[in-house]
Amino acid sequence: MAKVPAAAVAAGGLIGGYGVARWTKKRQLGGVVLAAAGAAAAQQWRQQAGGKAAGALTAAYVAAFAGSHTLAKKVGAWPAVFGVAGAVALASWVVADRQG
């Protein structure tokens, strides 16, 4: 079975987490989706690129989540989420997925 790239897992976690929180009106449920995808991506990052890279990418994932809130005030919620998800996916591909 083909493995889903960590870039897709991370981007999906950011997009899916926001979507679940918005549509269910339960922020905690969105947080569960965000955290589960982040943990899965971090595990793949560690396997593909090592601990330091995984730590940096995990920090980028958390920063993207936090930064999307500020960015949303300027461009809107969905554009902000898609923008940060794309940035994290690109970083993941450059650092980990491209090698693996």
**What pLDDT is attached to residue 2?**
53
**What pLDDT is attached to residue 79?**
98
H or E segment to which residue 92 belongs:
helix 77-92
What are 65-76's pLDDT values in tens digits? Answer: 999 999 999 999
What are 33-80's pLDDT values in tens digits? Answer: 999 999 999 999 999 999 999 999 999 999 999 999 999 999 999 999
What are 2-32's pLDDT values in tens digits? Answer: 589 999 999 999 999 999 999 999 999 999 9
The span from the CA of 18 to the CA of 70, in Å, is 14
Amino acid at 42: A
Write out the two tokens for 41. Answer: 């991506």
Provide DSSP, 9-39. HHHHHHHHHHHHHHHHS-HHHHHHHHHHHHH
User: Which residue do the tokens 């919620």 mark?
Assistant: 77
